[in-house]
């Protein structure tokens, strides 16, 4: 495996992942670090056509959902732990913001360990961030009880493409030593210059009739109106299923 | 590397990680998946004695902070992206709950890729969940500007122990096919029986004069009063530095 050369894979061969290989991937996720060995997550495996069809629109019909071999939806989960508390005359202590965050982090650690395990075996993966937009709808499809919220979605399959490595900011943009060194305007211009100069990105600016790439990101792809709408949806669902906020 | 045999390492040799090796680890983190290539995170490296001394009490003086070679605090970060927007006459669109969650997930994906990279090279790692308890205090030590919140902390160093693999729930407790199958009381009893039977865990129950292990977890280690206190702290800090909730 080469962690420096990995890329997300969005096109998959029509070849199923064996149960043995899937079990290996799941076990690697489960062996990763977690808070206090409480394992506050659950993994929902979607392999059947029927389940994929119901998930696809909630992921804005990204083709990976139907085309991959396995969809994994990893959820933060305090339902199992609280059930154990309840039958043991112990207080249910995790219905709060702190454990929403901790369980979400643990679900993600588990997911990334599974992603690496899959890639190590020659499979390709893609994260679907859309899971955070439509958490409640996805919860309904997967029959999640209260206290269980989808956090990440991975699609996995045998790669049918070898895309270029996607761009990254230079390391000095992302890493700080000892203290955070806030950026000057000049720093920002320099650090984003390669990304702005990429012809593919310049084409996006032109297509959208905008002035620059930052506007493409913040006014089209990840615009405020949508982000606020989906934030509100998430908060309402979180209050309903998890805790007051 | 064997993802199935990894364990968290809490005792380290007095041997520093070279800059070359640290750079490799950082690059592996940066190459992992992230939302829209926005890279909404920053990594703060703490190697100096002075910095570790200031972080240690905020991690409840867990000895790994002082004993490891490198502490990495990975933060969700919309400060850099919004700065780029600002100087480009683009809307700052990410100050909301959705992007708090997405950036937190991306920071964690990056962290786990670094953890795996370190383990692949024979280093040992330990996550410090305490970062979520004292996010604001850690932000002050690291000089984080608004829009930047610590999400994960990793300690890394050369291992000076080889602990037993820690326990995990059986796979059937954690994995669901197609739909979440909620647990009966009998299921819960069966799934937790090995953990409850572990002599180390039985000793904890006795030491604490409690009836069972669930009470140790939910009334001592992760009790409601502390969790609610730290939840409130986090929410206040989040409102101050990130967004209304």
pTM value is 0.98
Cβ contact (<8 Å) for A109 and B104? no
The model's confidence at residue B66, banded by pLDDT at 50, 70 and 90, is very high
Distance from CA of B180 to the nearest CA of A (A): 6
| Averaged pLDDT, A61-78 | 98
How much is the pLDDT for A1? Answer: 64
pLDDT in tens, A5-51: 999 999 999 999 999 999 999 999 999 999 999 999 999 999 999 99
- What ipTM does this complex have? 0.98
Spatial separation of the C-alpha atoms in residues A51 and A47, rounded to whole Å: 7
Provide, as residue numbers in chain B, all residues whose Cβ is less than 8 Å from the Cβ of A147: none
Mean per-residue pLDDT of chain B: 97
What is the chain B residue with the closest CA to A76?
B174
- Among A89, A94, A188, select the one facing B87 at the smallest CB separation: A188
| Averaged pLDDT, B115-142 | 98
Nearest CA-CA partner of A41 in A111, A91, A119: A111
Residue B174 is encoded by which pair of tokens?
């954690």
Which of B97, B198, B226 is the best mutation test for A, with the most CBs of A within 10 A? Answer: B97
% of chain A beyond a pLDDT of 70: 100
Cβ contact (<8 Å) for B3 and A117? yes
pLDDT higher than 70, residue B94: yes
Residue B179 is encoded by which pair of tokens?
């739909």
Spatial separation of the C-alpha atoms in residues B28 and B109, rounded to whole Å: 11
- Sole residue written with tokens 């059937």: B172
pLDDT higher than 80, residue A144: yes
Provide, as residue numbers in chain B, all residues whose Cβ is less than 8 Å from the Cβ of A129: 35-36, 102, 105
Provide, as residue numbers in chain A, all residues whose Cβ is less than 8 Å from the Cβ of B85: 214, 217-218
Residues 6+ positions from A53 with CB-CB distance below 8 Å:
A66
pLDDT higher than 70, residue B91: yes
pLDDT in tens, A192-205: 999 999 999 999 99
Residues 6+ positions from A202 with CB-CB distance below 8 Å:
A196, A213
Residue A148 is encoded by which pair of tokens?
């269980």
DSSP secondary structure of B121-188: TT-EEEE-GGGGTSHHHHHHHTT--TTEEEEEEEEEE-B---PPPPP---HHHHEEESS--PPPHHHH
Cβ contact (<8 Å) for A105 and B108? yes
How much is the pLDDT for A45? Answer: 98
- Among B48, B174, B212, select the one facing A178 at the smallest CB separation: B48
How much is the pLDDT for B1? Answer: 63
What is the chain B residue with the closest CA to A224?
B93
């Amino acid at each position: 495996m080469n962690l420096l050369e990995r890329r997300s894979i969005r096109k998959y061969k029509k070849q199923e992942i064996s149960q043995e290989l899937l079990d290996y991937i799941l076990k690697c996720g489960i062996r990763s670090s977690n808070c206090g060995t409480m394992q506050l997550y659950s993994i929902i495996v979607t392999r059947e056509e029927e389940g994929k069809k119901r998930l696809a629109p909630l992921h804005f019909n990204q083709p990976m959902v139907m085309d991959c071999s396995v969809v994994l939806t990893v959820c933060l989960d305090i339902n199992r732990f609280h059930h154990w508390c309840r039958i043991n005359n112990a207080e249910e202590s995790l219905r709060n913001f702190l454990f929403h965050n901790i369980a979400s982090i643990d679900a993600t650690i588990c997911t990334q360990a599974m992603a690496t395990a899959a890639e190590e075996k020659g499979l390709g993966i893609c994260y679907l961030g859309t899971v955070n937009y439509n958490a409640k709808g996805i919860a309904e499809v997967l029959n999640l009880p209260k206290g269980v919220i989808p956090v990440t979605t991975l699609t996995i399959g045998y790669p049918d493409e070898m895309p270029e490595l996607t761009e990254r900011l230079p390391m000095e943009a992302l890493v700080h030593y000892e203290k955070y060194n806030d950026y000057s305007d000049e720093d920002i211009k320099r650090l984003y210059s390669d990304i702005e100069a990429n012809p593919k990105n310049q084409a996006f600016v032109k297509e959208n009739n905008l002035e620059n790439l930052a506007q493409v990101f913040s006014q089209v792809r990840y615009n405020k109106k949508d982000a606020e709408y989906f934030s509100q949806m998430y908060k309402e669902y979180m209050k309903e299923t998890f805790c007051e906020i």
